């Protein structure tokens, strides 16, 4: 075994045990790009060793996707593999666990006919909904992890030869997921305990707002009434504790859509629908962005926040320490699984129901009355740095230090 | 493009146009081993060029199968991916075409625990039945073709280095499927016309028996009443003409289970459940094998024909010219798709309903009364050679030459 093989195996074991926590007799359904075969084989072996009854992997192939865009007529893009997604939903209902291996080429479909893209995305979203609702509803234990692939590696390390780019990306994945540490599973137990200690602390303090201070940032960000902080692993409705994202560093909750005031500056670039947006500076009044500039991609950002009323308001606020291993890597991954764990961030647009107490039992009207935001979009952008201070504001107005110079103060 | 790439593309085009005859707007569902990715990519492109709306490939991985046998407990083998097979059945019902790429390692599971194998096969057969019935019932256009894979190539050419074995197997596949000819699609049209001319001739003559004469063979083989000859392409219930096997050289029908008398000798070895059987010599009385010897594997053959009452009687008779490209290759493929097209053959065991006129509308009792055979097994073995003569016996007893020295006389 090479050093890479050792690390790949440790990573696979971490995904199966800590990510999925596969149960004896449980089926496992994997989706992965073809380039992830070596990782999927390691994962498959660990799943069987841990008692999985059957592991089924559905591979995707970039070449097949591109052949469709090159040769199929526009009306073909209204068709999606509903039969496969319905089969997946049937598997989840029967208790199968779910693993998604990310690693797609971030710019695979750049330059393709936007009409075909829109029709394909719509058809796929509609056909996938029954399966997706079982995932987002946390019916079964599931996990998203990543595999380095040549196209992704080249996008992260442009100009670097493919083999070296692959090696660097794998090294970054192993570091960010802690798979390169002597006992990754124990490290994740402690990591989860840290995240849960923080979400418990934050949920107990019931801050009414967060105050952000840093270069270009002076913001009072009101939190939704009955907001709920989430982070790290959790128990699915089938009773299995799993970690749905490997890696994860964030704790996150719902802002109040009408109670954000002041200025906020981005600290890392954002890739949105093929456009690079950087140097964002916005001013909020009563929750709404009323002024904005950006050093790059200003039009794209203006278009984003103009999508609908909710797109100019916040739907998520997440705290991530500046020393997070993803941030420490200094790499822009062009992949949300990693990039959203690199820095404290906010998202304009739709908020998560799970970030309101008993959110799934409340009506849309009730959620909106509590301050939850509603929009067709949900786009994260990074505001964290080694110069950011964050205070929690208690109901009586008293500030408490949450982060100092980008690191946890709690 | 290399010469191999040219041939691979011509073969892919043949499979899509002649094998499947994919229709505009039709979905295509492919199953294939991971080693077949280059062929599947060519097929995918041709399918989209011909108007397929969506091509979905489910890849199988030998390593994952072996990991299950190595590590999963015995009770896990009662589990099959019913959710996937149900999805496939849903796709077929909605009109999707079906392509199976064969190329598995023929001895992949040799030496595995027979109990696990039996449970896995049973669970898989039961779960696959709803999808399989749509295939065997010819509800939609479908095709089985093959891809050379390293494990298969090494089993066909033992002792030959892998790259050379792969090259030789691909060369043999291209030759046997006629993909290496200047216009394979036109060649297949003529080939189908030849096969249909022969099945039409044979169906019109309504022979009551075939008489076989050759070294070690002197046999009067009665045909089932209302037997029906089949061969080459046909029209599925969705109205699409397709060629379900690429290659195919045989015309075949149902013997009468009680009207076979005389001696019959095999001409090529037969691999049955891991045992090699060669030099079979049997004597029939009133349809039943009453004496048998074999130079190799006699016990295995005795066990086969002892499975049940129908296993000692014939269920299929097929005529293949000795000059068939598969025979001319001189290769034992260890794969039924090829080997059954290498020589005239018979099968002990179950007969095909399609080989009785209106067979699907008749009861089991009616089929048996016409002479159709019934058994749990259906095993082909080769009896053709360059020294075999076959006569058709008209209802009045007049013989007509059908094959002379292994070649068609009609």
Q: pLDDT (tens digit, 9 = 90+) per residue, A267-292?
A: 988 877 667 789 999 999 999 999 99
CATH 3.40.1830.10 domain position(s) in chain A: 3-176
Contact yes or no for A99/A18 (Cβ under 8 A): no
The token duo for B376 is 């749990």
Q: How far apart are CA A40 and CA A30, in angstroms?
A: 8
Q: What is the nearest CA distance from B4 to chain A, expressed in angstroms?
A: 19
Burial of A284: CB neighbours in 10 Å, binned 0-12, 13-18, 19+: buried
Contact yes or no for A65/A59 (Cβ under 8 A): no
Q: How far apart are CA A235 and CA A192, in angstroms?
A: 13
Check B44 against A51: CB less than 8 A apart: no
Contact yes or no for A325/A178 (Cβ under 8 A): yes
The DSSP line for B60-94 is E-HHHHHHHHHHS-GGGGG---HHHHHHHHHHHHT
Q: What is the nearest CA distance from A26 to chain B, expressed in angstroms?
A: 9
Q: How far apart are CA A372 and CA A369, in angstroms?
A: 7
Q: What is the nearest CA distance from B388 to chain A, expressed in angstroms?
A: 48
Residues of chain A with pLDDT under 70: 273-274
Q: How far apart are CA B259 and CA B145, in angstroms?
A: 35
CA dihedral sign, ordered B194, B199, B203, B206? positive
Tens digits of residue pLDDT in A20-40: 999 999 999 999 999 999 999
| A interface test, pick of B22, B42, B76, B89 with most A CB neighbours within 10 Å | B76
Q: What is the nearest CA distance from B247 to chain A, expressed in angstroms?
A: 25
Contact yes or no for B371/B256 (Cβ under 8 A): yes
pLDDT of residue A27: 98
Q: Rounding to the nearest 10 degrees, give the CA dihedral for residues B189, B193, B196, B200.
A: 160
Q: Closest residue of A to B43, CA-based?
A: A64
pLDDT of residue B234: 93
Q: Compute CA A373 distance to the chain's CA centroid, rounded to the nearest angstrom.
A: 18
Contact yes or no for A139/A237 (Cβ under 8 A): yes
Partner residue facing A41 (CB), from B27, B64, B71:
B64
pLDDT of residue A106: 82
Q: How far apart are CA B66 and CA B79, in angstroms?
A: 16
Residues of chain B with pLDDT under 70: 273-274
Q: Which residue, among B5, B8, B50, B11, has the nearest Cα to B247 in the 3D structure?
A: B11
Q: What is the nearest CA distance from B122 to chain A, expressed in angstroms?
A: 15
Instruction: Residue A51: list chain B partners with CB under 8 A.
Output: 72-73, 76
Instruction: Residue A53: list chain B partners with CB under 8 A.
Output: 72, 75-76, 79
Contact yes or no for A79/B53 (Cβ under 8 A): yes
Check A54 against B27: CB less than 8 A apart: no
Q: Residue B179, Cβ neighbours under 10 Å: how many?
A: 26
Partner residue facing A87 (CB), from B48, B71, B83:
B83
pLDDT of residue A274: 66
Check A84 against B87: CB less than 8 A apart: yes
Q: How far apart are CA A55 and CA A26, in angstroms?
A: 9
Q: How far apart are CA B256 and CA A89, in angstroms?
A: 48
pLDDT of residue B274: 66
**Buried b / exposed e across B152-165, counting CB within 10 Å, b at 16+?**
bbbbbbeeeeeeeb
pLDDT of residue B361: 87
Considering only CB atoms, which residues of chain B are within 8 Å of chain A? Answer: 25, 27, 34, 37, 40-41, 44-45, 48-49, 51-59, 61, 63-64, 67-68, 70-73, 75-76, 79-84, 86-88, 90-91, 94, 96
Report yes or no for ipTM above 0.85: yes
Query: Which CATH superfamily, name and number, covers B3-176?
Result: Thermophilic metalloprotease (M29) (3.40.1830.10)
């Amino acid at each position: 075994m090479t050093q890479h093989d050792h690390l790949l195996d440790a990573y696979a074991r971490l995904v199966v045990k800590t990510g999925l926590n596969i149960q004896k007799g449980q089926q496992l359904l994997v989706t992965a790009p073809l380039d992830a075969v070596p990782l999927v084989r390691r994962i498959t072996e660990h799943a069987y060793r841990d008692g999985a009854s059957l592991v089924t992997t559905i591979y995707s192939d970039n070449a097949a996707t591109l052949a469709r865009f090159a040769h199929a007529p526009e009306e073909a893009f209204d068709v999606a593999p509903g039969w496969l997604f319905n089969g997946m939903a049937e598997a989840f209902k029967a208790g199968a666990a779910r693993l998604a291996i990310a690693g797609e080429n971030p710019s695979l479909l750049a330059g393709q006919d936007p009409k075909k893209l829109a029709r394909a995305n719509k058809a796929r979203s509609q056909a996938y909904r029954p399966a997706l609702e079982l995932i987002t509803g946390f019916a079964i234990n599931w996990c998203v992890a990543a595999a380095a692939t040549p196209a992704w590696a080249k996008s992260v390390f442009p100009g670097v030869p493919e083999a070296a780019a692959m090696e660097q990306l794998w090294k970054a994945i192993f570091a960010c997921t802690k798979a390169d540490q002597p006992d990754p599973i124990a490290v994740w137990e402690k990591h989860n305990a840290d995240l849960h200690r923080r979400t418990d602390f934050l949920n107990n303090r019931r801050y009414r707002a967060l105050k952000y201070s840093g270069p270009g940032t002076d913001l009072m960000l009101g939190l939704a009434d009955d907001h709920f902080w989430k982070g790290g692993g959790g128990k699915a409705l089938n009773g299995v504790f799993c970690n749905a994202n490997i890696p994860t560093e964030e704790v996150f909750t719902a802002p109040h859509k009408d109670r954000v005031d002041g200025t906020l500056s981005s600290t890392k670039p954002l890739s949105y629908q093929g456009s690079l947006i950087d140097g964002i500076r916005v001013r909020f009044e009563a929750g709404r962005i009323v002024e904005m500039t950006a050093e790059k991609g200003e039009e794209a950002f203006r278009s984003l926040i103009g999508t609908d009323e909710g797109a100019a308001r916040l739907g998520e606020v997440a705290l991530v320490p500046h020393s997070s291993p993803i941030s420490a890597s200094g790499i822009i991954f062009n992949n949300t699984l990693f990039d959203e764990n690199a820095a404290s961030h906010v998202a304009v647009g739709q908020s998560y129901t799970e970030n309101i107490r008993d959110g799934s039992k409340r009506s849309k009207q009730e959620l909106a009355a509590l301050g939850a935001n509603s929009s067709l979009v949900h786009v994260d952008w990074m505001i964290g740095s080694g110069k950011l201070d964050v205070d929690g504001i208690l109901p009586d107005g008293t500030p408490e230090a949450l982060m100092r110079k980008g690191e946890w103060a709690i």
